Structure formats: C-alpha cells, structure tokens
Amino acid sequence: MQEALGVIETLGFATAMEAADAAVKTANVKLAEWLKVGGGKVNVIMRGDVAAVKAAVDAGVSSAANIGEVQGQTVNPRPSDKLTPKFPITIKKTKK
C-alpha cells in the first residue's frame, strides 16, 4: 500500500530541523529526505499513513513557525508511483 507523503518547506536549516523533530515526535512517520532547495529553503519530506502524516505536518509547521519561517506545506494522501524515480520521496535506508 502506498504511504502518504508530507512536505514542509522552511527558510533555514535550523527551522527545518525543528519541523522534522516535532513531526517525528508527534506521529508515527518516517523521514524520507531533507533537501536544500536553494535560496536558503529546505524541504523536509516524510512518509506514513494519512492521519499520521497530517498530524506530523501540522505539528512540524506549528513548531517551526515559532523559530523561523515556514514557506509551504503539503500532504498528498496517495502519491503516484511515477513520482518516485524523479523525486527523493522514498524512505532512507539506515546502515547498521
């Protein structure tokens, strides 16, 4: 089953870290990637079930807005499989 996709776009790395920290502490989501977009913008990408991703994005945006600027957010409940080859939205494998 395809997992939901959540993205939070911030201005600055510290703001992105705050968003990611709040997101993973709030709901059962997995961080897929963080991307430096340019112009100081950083995207935090997360995956999980729809309710968890929605809660995580909301918490991440709220927390990040306290210390910096949040420039965008989105929750895609059922992203197309055709996105995966073009965008880094798959879960990162951790080395043990």
pLDDT value at residue 80: 85
pTM: 0.88
pLDDT value at residue 81: 82
Quote the DSSP letter at residue 36: E
pLDDT value at residue 94: 63
* Topology (CATH level 3) of domain 4-83: Alpha-Beta Plaits (3.30.70)
**Three-state DSSP class for residue 21:** helix
- pLDDT tens per residue, range 44-66: 999 999 999 999 999 999 999 99
pLDDT value at residue 85: 74
Q: Domain ranges in the chain?
A: 4-83
For residue 26, count CB atoms less than 10 angstroms from its CB and return exposed for 0-12, middle for 13-18, buried for 19 or more.
Answer: middle
Pick out the chain residues at pLDDT < 70: 1, 92-96
